[in-house]
Amino acid sequence: MSVWLVCFAVVGAAVYCVGVEQAQAQEKPLPKVEEITKHLDDLYRSTASHGQMEMQITTAHWSRTLNMEVWSQGEDLALVVIRSPAKEAGTATLKNTDGLWNYAPRADRLMRIPGGMLSDSWMGSHFTNDDLVRESSWEDDYDTQSAWAKEGGETFILLTSVPKPGAPVVYGRVEQWLSVEGWLPVKAVFFDTDGVLVRTMVYSNVVEFNGRKIPATMTLTPADKPEEKTQVTYQKMEFNAALDASIFTARGLRKAAQQ
Amino acid sequence: MFLRLAARNLVRNRWRSFLTAGGVAVATALLIWTVCFSETFSVAMVKGATAVDVGQAQIHSAAYVKKASLYHTLTLDEAQLGAIRRVEGVAGASPRAQVYGLVGNESRSQVARILGIDSVNERAITNLSKGVVKGRWLSDQAPQDGAREVLLGKDLARLLGVGPGDELVVFIQAADGSLGNDVLSVVGLVQSGNTAVDRATVLMHLSDVQMLAALEGVAHEITLSVTRFEEAEQVVGAVQAVLAKDNTSAAPEDRLVVRTWKEVLPQLAQMIETSEKSIWIIYFIIYLLAALGILNTQRMSAMERRREFGVLLALGVKPRSLGAMLVTEAVFLSMLGGVIGAALGWGVSAYFAEYGLNMAALSDSGSFKYMGVSFDDQFYFIVDMGGILEQLVWVAGVGMLCGLWPAWSSARLNAVQAIAGRT
C-alpha cells in the first residue's frame, strides 16, 4: 500500500511539474509594468552620470558629426556641451528645476527654451530637446501595457505606452520592444495622436559601462524622411559619478562650456 | 407727338414725378459712391497687404516656389539686380534671406521669422521703414564690430519683454547644419499692422543673416515694388524677360520665377476678389429699390389714365405707340434721376477724392484694420468716370424694364371698356 502511495505521489508530482513547465514556456508571467518603466527611466540615468557621446546627423542637405560631453543627475538635472566641431564648441543645453536653456558661446548668453519646444529638434538633429534632457518619464507621463511579442523568431517584451492626460508629450502612442533578458530596449516606434508613424529609434551596440549594460548606440529615423537619420553613440559613460550639483547652474554651465 | 405727350404726362403730376426721380437720384448717387468706395477699398487693401511684407512682386528660384525652404536659394548678382531695377515700372528691387530661428534672452524666447534685408533698398520696396514706432531703422551698413543690429515687430518685442537698447540672443539652424548663434542689439521696433510681421518677424542686415545661416552670396527672394499697382502683371512679364537669358543656362530648379503678389499670396487675392464680388449684392438691392419705385409710379399713372388711353386707342393710335410712350416716360424719369444722382454721387466722391475719408474714425484703436491688413487712415477716393457712366446705362436699362409692364398692359386695353371705365 505504501509502495502504491509513493508511486502515485511521484507520478502525480511529475505530471504536475511537466504541466507547469509547459505553461511557463508558452505564457511566462510578464514582469510588472511599473518595474519595467522604472528600469527604462533609470537605464541611461543614475544618481549622477558623466559621459561622452558622438552624434552623427545625416540630412538630405548635409551631414555632420558632433562630439558632446554630457552630465546628468537624477530626473531633473542635465547638461550637454558640444565639444566639436570648433564652430559650435561650447554650445550647450542645460536643464534644471527652473527650466531649459540653450547657451550661445559666441554671445556668452543663456536663452530660455519655452516648454512648448521640448519636442522641437535639438541643434538640427532628429533628436528633440526632450530626447536629450529627458524631461518626460515613462513612469510618470505614460500609461503602459505590456505583452509578449515575436519578431524574426525572437521573443520580446512589447510595451505600448499612451501619454497620461496633460503629460508634456507630443506622441499619441509609443511602442517599445525590449529584450526578455535584462529588459534592454531594442526598438522604439513613435506614433502621433492620429496613429501615424512619426519616427523609429533602433538601439544597438550593447556595452558595459561601470558594470551597467546599455545599448550604446541609438539610431533615429524620421518617418517622413527615411533617407535622413541621427545616430548617437555613447563613447564613455560613468554611472553614479561623483558630481557637484553646481554644474547644473548658469555659472557651472559657463565653466563647463568654456573648458 | 408721343414725346410731347410723355413729357406732358410727367409734368402733369409734378410731385409724383419729382419724388420718383428723386428716389432714383439718391439710389444712383449711393451706387456711384459705393463703386468709388469699393474701388478705393480694393486698392487700399492690396496696398496695405503688399506694402509691408511681400511687395508687389517677388523673384524666387523655381525650387523655392515649389517649397519654401532654407536650402532653395538664388545667387545674388549685382549686374542682374541692376538690370531688374532698370525695367520700366519697377520702383525698387531688394534681396532678402528668410530663415527661422529662436530669439530671446535668459528669461524668454520665441521662434521668429528672421528676415535678412538690404536696409537701404528695402526702403524702396516696402513701408517697413516707415513703421518704426520706437528706436530707429537699421543703419545703412551693418556695423563691423559689436552686437549685430536687429529690429523687432512690436508685438514680438512685447512678448519678449525687450525694447530698443536691449540685448537678445539668436540661434539659427544654418544651411550647412551648424547652429549659428550670436548676440543682437535691438535698435528699433516696427509696427506694420500686418499681424505676421508685428508678432513674429525680426529684421536684420542681410549680411548678418547670411553669415549666421551660412548663406554667403545667396538669398531667398528678390522683392519688387512697382510704380503703378495696376501694372504689376506687365512689369512681372518684363522682368521675367530680362531674366530669360540667365534662366536658359540655369538648372531647372535654379531658374528664377517672377510672381505678382497675387501669385505669392493667392488667399489674399481671392479674399479681395470675393469682397469685390460681394459688392454686387449691394448693387442689386439698390437697383431693386429704385426699380420698385419706378414701377410703382408708372403703374399708378397708367391706371389713372386708362380712360385717356381708351380715347387714344379709339382715335386710332396704335397700341405699340401707346406702349412706347409709356416706356419713354419711364426711361425719361429714370434718366432724369440718374443724371441728377450721378452728379450728386460724383460730387461727393470727388470731395472724398480731394479731402479723404477718415477711416480711423470708424475703429476704436485709432487705426483701421480689416482681416489682419492695416490701411491708410485717410481713404482718398478713386473716381472712375467709366464706372459712373456704366451706372447711368444700368439705371436707364432698369427704367426701361420697369416701364415695360405698365406699357404692355395699357397697350392691350380694349378701347370701349377703358372709356366706359369697366376694366
**What pLDDT was estimated at residue B399?**
83
- Helix axes of B385-411 and B266-304: crossing angle, nearest 10 degrees: 40
Are the Cβ atoms of A117 and B111 closer than 8 angstroms? yes
Q: Which residues in A203-218 are b (16+ Cβ under 10 Å) and which e? A: beeeeebeeeebbbbb
Half-sphere exposure of A26 (CA within 13 A, CB side): 5
Please indicate if any CB of chain A lies within 8 Å of the CB of B107. Answer: yes
64-103 of B, contacting A, C-beta below 8 A: 71, 102
How crowded is residue B417: how many other Cβ atoms within 10 Å of its Cβ? Answer: 12
Q: Give bridge partners of residue A57 from the DSSP assignment.
A: A64, A230
For residue B105, the chain A residues in CB contact (below 8 A) are 109, 111-112
> Closest chain A residue to B214 measured between Cα atoms?
A87
Most A CBs within 10 Å, among B160, B171, B208, B211, to test the A interface: B171
Contact A40, A141 (CB under 8 A): no
How crowded is residue A235: how many other Cβ atoms within 10 Å of its Cβ? Answer: 13
For A100, the enclosing helix (H) or strand (E) is strand A99-104
For residue B171, the chain A residues in CB contact (below 8 A) are 102, 104, 111
Half-sphere exposure of B412 (CA within 13 A, CB side): 7
For residue A113, the chain B residues in CB contact (below 8 A) are 102, 109
For residue A61, the chain B residues in CB contact (below 8 A) are 71, 175, 177
Q: Give bridge partners of residue B86 from the DSSP assignment.
A: none
Q: State how far the Cα of B98 lies from the Cα of B113, in Å rounded to an integer.
A: 7
**What pLDDT was estimated at residue A24?**
45
Q: Provide the number of CB pairs (under 8 Å) joining chain A to chain B.
A: 71
Instruction: Compute φ and ψ for B305, nearest 5 degrees.
Output: -100, 25
Return the amino acid letter for B279. I
Are the Cβ atoms of B183 and A104 closer than 8 angstroms? yes
Q: State how far the Cα of A164 lies from the Cα of A153, in Å rounded to an integer.
A: 33
> What is the tens place of the pLDDT at every residue in B192-234?
877 888 899 999 999 999 999 999 999 999 999 998 877 888 9
- Is pTM beyond 0.90 here? no
Please indicate if any CB of chain B lies within 8 Å of the CB of A104. Answer: yes
Helix H segments across chain A? 2-26, 33-43, 129-133, 138-141, 250-257
Please indicate if any CB of chain B lies within 8 Å of the CB of A206. Answer: no
> Closest chain B residue to A116 measured between Cα atoms?
B110
Are the Cβ atoms of A107 and B181 closer than 8 angstroms? yes
**What pLDDT was estimated at residue B159?**
93
Q: State how far the Cα of A156 lies from the Cα of A182, in Å rounded to an integer.
A: 11
Q: State how far the Cα of B170 lies from the Cα of A104, in Å rounded to an integer.
A: 8
Please indicate if any CB of chain A lies within 8 Å of the CB of B173. Answer: yes
Are the Cβ atoms of A124 and B177 closer than 8 angstroms? yes
DSSP A174-230: EEEEEETTTT-EEEEEEE-TTS-EEEEEEEEEEEEETTEEEEEEEEEEETT-TT-EE
Please indicate if any CB of chain A lies within 8 Å of the CB of B253. Answer: no
Please indicate if any CB of chain B lies within 8 Å of the CB of A225. Answer: no
For B94, the enclosing helix (H) or strand (E) is strand B90-104
**What pLDDT was estimated at residue A118?**
73
Dihedral-angle region of residue B389 (phi above 0 means left; psi in -120 to 50 means alpha; beta otherwise): alpha
Q: What is the interface pTM, i.e. ipTM, of the complex?
A: 0.74
Residue with cell 500686418: B194
Q: Give bridge partners of residue B98 from the DSSP assignment.
A: B115
What own/partner pairs with CB < 8 Å and gap ≥ 24 does A157-162 have? A157/A30, A157/A31, A157/A36, A157/A183, A159/A33, A159/A36, A159/A37, A159/A40, A161/A37
Instruction: Compute φ and ψ for A207, nearest 5 degrees.
Output: -125, 150
Please indicate if any CB of chain A lies within 8 Å of the CB of B177. Answer: yes
**Which 3 state secondary structure label does DSSP give B12?**
helix
**What pLDDT was estimated at residue B299?**
84
For residue A106, the chain B residues in CB contact (below 8 A) are 181-183
Could you say which of B71, B175, B178 has the minimum Cβ distance to residue A88? B178
For residue A59, the chain B residues in CB contact (below 8 A) are 177
Contact B37, B193 (CB under 8 A): no
Angstroms from B265 CA to nearest CA on chain A: 27
For residue A86, the chain B residues in CB contact (below 8 A) are none
- Cis bond leading into A85, ω under 30°? yes
Angstroms from A184 CA to nearest CA on chain B: 32
For residue B178, the chain A residues in CB contact (below 8 A) are 64, 85, 87-88, 124
Angstroms from A90 CA to nearest CA on chain B: 11
> Closest chain B residue to A98 measured between Cα atoms?
B107
Q: Which three cell numbers mark B130?
A: 516707415
A120: buried, middle or exposed (CB in 10 Å: 19+, 13-18, 0-12)?
middle
User: What are the angstrom distances between the C-alpha of A258 and each of A82, B204, B387?
Assistant: 10, 28, 72
Q: State how far the Cα of B258 lies from the Cα of B245, in Å rounded to an integer.
A: 14
Please indicate if any CB of chain B lies within 8 Å of the CB of A115. Answer: no
Alpha carbon B56 to chain centroid, angstroms: 13
DSSP B365: T
For residue A101, the chain B residues in CB contact (below 8 A) are 106
The tens place of each residue's pLDDT in chain A, 259 residues long, gives 455 555 455 545 444 444 444 444 445 678 888 888 888 888 877 778 899 999 999 998 899 999 999 998 887 889 999 998 888 899 999 988 888 899 988 888 899 988 777 778 888 888 888 787 766 788 888 999 989 988 888 899 999 999 999 887 888 999 999 998 888 999 999 999 999 999 999 999 999 998 888 999 999 999 999 999 999 999 999 988 888 889 999 999 999 988 7
For residue B177, the chain A residues in CB contact (below 8 A) are 57, 59, 61-64, 124
DSSP B284-296: HHHHHHHHHHHHH
For residue B110, the chain A residues in CB contact (below 8 A) are 114
**What pLDDT was estimated at residue B104?**
92
Q: Which three cell numbers mark B152?
A: 523687432
> Closest chain A residue to B148 measured between Cα atoms?
A107
Dihedral-angle region of residue A144 (phi above 0 means left; psi in -120 to 50 means alpha; beta otherwise): beta
The ranges of chain B with pLDDT < 70 are 1, 360-377, 423
> Closest chain A residue to B176 measured between Cα atoms?
A62
Please indicate if any CB of chain B lies within 8 Å of the CB of A84. Answer: no
